[in-house]
Amino acid sequence: MMKKLNHLLAILLIVAGLVSCNKNDEKMKNPFFNDLNQVIDFEHITAKNVTNATAESLTSGKEELSKIYTIKSEERTFENTVRALDDVYNNLLKVNEVVSLLAYVHPNDEIRNECLNSIGVFGKFFNEISLSDDLYGAIKDYSKSAEAQNLIGPEKKYLKETVEEFERNGFALPKEKRTELKVIQDKLSDLGIQFDSNISSYQDFLIASEEQMEGLPEDYKKSHRQEDGTYKIGLEYPSYVPFMKYSTSDEARKELTKKYKNTAADKNLDVLKQILIEREKLALLLGYKTFAEYRTENRMAKNPQNVWDFENSLKEKVRAKAERDYNELLEVKRAYTKDNTVKTIEAWEASFYNNILLKEKYELDNQKLKEYFEVGNVINGLFKISQHLYGVKFEQVENASVWHKDVLFYEVKENDKLIARFYLDLYPRENKYNHAACFGMIPGKKVNDDYQIPTASLVCNFPKATEDMPALMPHNDVETFFHEFGHLMHDLLTKAELASQAGTNVARDFVEMPSQIFENWAWDYEALSLFANHYKTGDLLPKELHEKMLAAKNVGSGLQVLQQVFYGSLDMTYHDKYDANGSKNTSSLVEDLQNDITMFKFQEGTHFEAGFGHLNGYAAGYYSYLWALVFADDMFSVFEQNGIMDQATGLKLKEIVLERGSTIEEMEIVKEFLGREPNEAAFLKSIGL
């Protein structure tokens, strides 16, 4: 009997060993898991890899967290408790961030859907961590130690903010209330994924006739023409924006605008209402009056009133400029329609008449202008500028493993040392994220005596070349490219030792500053002369055309700023002054605020908020675009003084802003770069005031 038992035990041990080996082999084969600084094999990722990587990450995360919990109080150190927590977050993020990217860019439906599922799983686990009694106890316990009391710099800041974030997540609450909080946070995680997914998967289009295409350029018509001679106009930017600008059909523009402003309205109105209800529950449970109060507390703004003061002040200061802009468009419309009694410009008319204004009064033809911005040239110019300012080099990796054949892969080197990597996914395709964004993938972080190489991706939707026409970018796309590249540099040039403080892991109302400052190089002639060559002749952008660009730059700037004030005010109102359970629906609020703040009347039958993705990611934080722009313009004034291509100033920006992440307070970063207190003078000057 004993012999049989021993034999059975031996078999079980062998099987267990095989299972363990199989599990380890499977992990080694999974593209999500690599040795430090090895690249990901995107070409061979499967849906099963996503599922397994998610499960493995969570299992490993739980094991590492358990180690932190079990350390004796007197044995706790920064290394084994606080840095160990950053290690856990880092290992989770390396999978979660890549999964989040692939959920919006991978061409395979099964992989995208599995990634969306995994985002939800990760979201719930992060909620679980944020509400862990054991983890809070460990961090709080360490914070009382003598070593913790003597911490300085980034380590002190990270510990302080970690404790504060736990307490913002309810650790002043009784146990049963924290359980209630976790239910709310899990529900919000699911609702947020649903909200974003409904927007990214929403598809609608306008079928336009030949007559309705009048005014549009031939390359646009050719790329949208169907076999039956009609034209299919989608809601993605490369289709929507030119149609609104050039189509002479007011009826078609009105219809397309209505479709655009109803993106995901079939599903997201209910989702948004529930999101706002749950956010209010969360805030009240944590002892805040509103979700906006909770959200702004640990940001530069500090409280909702500072945001309202900021928005209302800009609204008043910019109103007169916006009225001048509006009247300028009215004159164009009156001349175009030959009707001097016209008194209004509708929202779907603004881009069309603005384009005529630019061509006739400012003699700026955007179709001719884009002939100087071929995508390849723009990429090369962008690289030259960035490499010069920051003292780095970009090298393309040939035959790289990527998720789509159009994706390009680059390495970033400093003094011949590899310091970062990035991917460019520039062109639209079916089921791809339809805006422009920088997706973080692997954060920078000190790992023992080495440094984890940060990796990120730029996802854009620029016009693609056709058989007989190269990819030409409207100048606003060039500006967008520079903007997103600013985010990319912030992510990649980091030297922060902790992943939680690296790159764009900064206060939400600061994160847009490095991107918005970099937009300025898309306007300066010295910078443009590096790449703005005609796609046929190679001739440099003429100075007279550049002068027309500058003259036209602030055409409509007042209207544009008021539009941003509207977006920020709508977001803050939903989260600070709105009862989602009340009688007023979200669309009525859009109507009231648009009619009050902007110069354009609300379009009946539209539900803009359903497709306003920032209500999820930027909840009570959309104000940060304008907020950060004020700082960005102030900081750019230093380049204006020293020279836009002055490398010393570029290196100063790199060292003080881009490399630091959130290792020091963001306002201190701004003040150190400026050498003084910030102000809004440069911003007001930049919009023509």
Burial of 626 (0-12, 13-18, 19+ CB in 10 A): buried
pLDDT for position 28: 62
pLDDT for position 5: 38
Phi, psi of 72 (to 5 degrees): -70, 145
Q: Which residues are paired to 410 by β-bridges? A: 396, 422
Higher pLDDT, 257 or 8: 257
pLDDT for position 660: 97
Query: For residue 169, is pLDDT > 90?
Result: no
Q: Is residue 66 domain-shared with residue 209, that is, in the same domain? A: no
At 373, is the secondary structure helix, strand, or coil? coil
Q: Is residue 376 domain-shared with residue 348, that is, in the same domain? A: no
Pairing of strands 455-459, 417-425: parallel
Query: For residue 16, is pLDDT > 70?
Result: no
CATH number of the domain within which 332 lies: 1.10.1370.10
Query: For residue 472, is pLDDT > 50?
Result: yes
Mean pLDDT of 21-39: 77
Nearest CA-CA partner of 400 in 423, 378, 417: 423
CATH number of the domain within which 525 lies: 1.10.1370.40
545: its two tokens: 């055309």
Q: Is residue 214 domain-shared with residue 75, that is, in the same domain? A: no
Query: For residue 8, is pLDDT > 80?
Result: no
How many domains are there within the chain?
5
Q: Is the dihedral of CA 4, 5, 10, 14 positive or negative?
A: positive
- Over residues 302-329, the pLDDT tens digits come to 999 999 999 999 999 999 999 999 999 9
- Over residues 335-382, the pLDDT tens digits come to 999 999 999 999 999 999 999 998 898 888 888 999 999 999 999 999
Query: Sorting pLDDT into bands at 50, 70 and 90, what band is 27?
Result: low
Instruction: Give the global pTM.
Output: 0.81
- Over residues 412-426, the pLDDT tens digits come to 999 999 999 999 999
593 with 600: CB under 8 angstroms?
no
Q: Is residue 314 domain-shared with residue 167, that is, in the same domain? A: no
Per-residue 3-state assignment (H helix, E strand, C coil) for 26-50: HHHHCCCCCCCCCCCCHHHCCHHHH
Q: Is residue 506 domain-shared with residue 631, that is, in the same domain? A: yes
Catalytic residue among 293, 484, 497, 666: 484
AA identity, residue 263: T
Range of the domain at 8: 1-30
Q: Which residues are paired to 472 by β-bridges? A: 374
pLDDT for position 20: 44
- Over residues 209-247, the pLDDT tens digits come to 999 999 999 989 999 999 999 999 999 988 999 999 999
For residue 72, give the DSSP letter: -
Residue 86's CB is within 10 A of a number of other CB atoms, namely: 20
Q: Is residue 549 domain-shared with residue 575, that is, in the same domain? A: no
Query: For residue 468, is pLDDT > 90?
Result: no
At 556, is the secondary structure helix, strand, or coil? coil
Q: Is residue 106 domain-shared with residue 35, that is, in the same domain? A: yes
Q: Is residue 7 domain-shared with residue 36, that is, in the same domain? A: no
Rounded to the nearest 5 degrees, what angle is found at the Cα of 200, between the Cα atoms of 95 and 370?
105
Query: For residue 26, is pLDDT > 60?
Result: no
Q: Is residue 410 domain-shared with residue 328, that is, in the same domain? A: no
Percentage, residues of the chain above pLDDT 70: 96
Which residue's structure tokens are 């790289």?
400
AA identity, residue 253: R
Helices (H), 493-556: 513-518, 525-528, 543-553
CATH number of the domain within which 109 lies: 1.20.1050.40
Mean pLDDT of 326-333: 96
State the DSSP H helix or E strand holding residue 420, giving kind and residue range, or none if neither.
Answer: strand 417-425
Helices (H), 286-303: 291-296
| Annotated catalytic residue 484 | yes
520 with 639: CB under 8 angstroms?
yes
5: its two tokens: 């038992």
Q: Which residues are paired to 442 by β-bridges? A: 455
Mean pLDDT of 613-626: 92
Q: Is residue 616 domain-shared with residue 642, that is, in the same domain? A: no
Mean pLDDT of 13-36: 64
Measured distance CA(580)–CA(284) in Å, rounded: 14
Q: Is residue 458 domain-shared with residue 534, that is, in the same domain? A: yes
Q: Is residue 521 domain-shared with residue 401, that is, in the same domain? A: yes
